[in-house]
Homo-oligomer: A and B are copies of this chain.
Amino acid sequence: MEDLLSNLKIVVNEGLFQIEPSTSKIGKKIVLNSVDMIAELGFEKFTFKKLGEVIGSPEASIYRYFKSKNQLLSYLVSWYWAWMEYQLVFETKNIVSPNIRLEKSIALVLSNTTDNFSVEGIDLKKLHQIIISESIKSYLTKDVDIANKEGAFQNYKQFVERISKIIIEINPDYKYPQMLLTTIIEGAHLQVFFGEHLPRLTNRQKSASYITKFYTNLVQQSIKAK
């Protein structure tokens, strides 16, 4: 697995961990192995005990880094959006036309990595699987307001905000940029899941890019419309 960006570090909000995991061997192991394990077991069946067995440390040690399973999930999700924002900035740099910038942004949002790449040792393909099936669980809880105050969703908000600004550049009268973006982001995740497990709830096509095409069209129509 090729490691991208070996000289840069993705930074997430302080409220997303107890001890910054990259500061110790055990911390790094927690993050890397939790990605593999959550992708494989799903969030419900993933436990700190099982993770402890894999990394060779007791559960209690993991709690020093993350106060709960949910905080760890939020950390991974935020890490994903921080990495996405980095790519967004990189991909749209020096491009004058907001239309082309938006096009590239949407392509990034809807892209489905099939190659095996890693950043800081994190398997990007597996992380993307987690985003598709589990990320929504990090905010659909009764503790969402507390987590939100701790900054758990800042990276996601920031990412959405950045693309929203491009939309506003293109059409200053458009009233729903955030709404449109979260609709296509969460929608695209869901359609991938439906395509695999509940095909009657989507319209899977032979070509793998049907989801991208569908949502790209949706954005273009929506923004153009008065």
- Which residues of A are at the interface with B, using a C-beta cutoff of 8 A? 41-42, 44-45, 133-134, 136-137, 139-142, 144-145, 148, 153, 156-157, 160-161, 175-180, 182-183, 186-187, 190-191, 193-194, 197-198, 200-203, 205, 210-211, 214, 217-218, 221-222, 225
Closest to A174 in B: B203
Query: Is there an interface contact between A139 and B198, defined as CB atoms closer than 8 Å?
Result: yes
- Please give the distance in Å from A69's CB to the nearest CB on chain B: 10
> 5 other contacts beyond A157-B198, A218-B218, with CB at 8 A cut-off?
A157-B201, A160-B200, A178-B201, A179-B214, A186-B190
Evaluate whether A214 and B176 lie within 8 angstroms (CB atoms) in the complex, with A142-B42, A201-B182 already known: yes
Contact, CB under 8 Å: A41 / B202: no
26 pairs, A vs B, C-beta closer than 8 Å: A44-B141, A45-B142, A133-B140, A136-B136, A136-B140, A137-B137, A156-B201, A157-B200, A175-B203, A176-B203, A176-B214, A177-B203, A178-B201, A178-B203, A180-B214, A182-B187, A182-B190, A182-B191, A182-B194, A182-B202, A183-B218, A186-B186, A186-B187, A187-B187, A218-B218, A221-B221
A219 to chain B, nearest CB (A): 10
Q: For the complex, what is the distance from the CA of A193 to the CA of B133, rounded to whole Å?
A: 18
Bound-complex Cα distance A202 to B156 (A):
12
Min Cβ gap A129→B in Å is 11
Residues of B within 8 A of A202 (CB): 178-179, 182
List, in ascending order, chain B residues with CB within 8 A of A205's CB. Answer: 175
Task: State how many angstroms separate the Cβ of A102 from the closest Cβ of chain B.
Answer: 17
Question: For the complex, what is the distance from the CA of A44 to the CA of B142, rounded to whole Å?
Answer: 9
Expressed in whole angstroms, the Cα–Cα distance for A152 and B84 within the complex equals: 35
**With a CB–CB cut-off of 8 A, which chain B residues contact A197?**
139, 144-145, 148
Min distance, Cβ A109 to any Cβ of chain B, angstroms: 14
| Minimum Cβ distance to chain B for residue A185 (Å) | 9
Q: Determine if B225 and A144 form an interchain contact, defined as CB atoms under 8 angstroms apart.
A: no
| A134 partner, pick from B42, B140, B190, B210, beta carbons under 8 A | B140
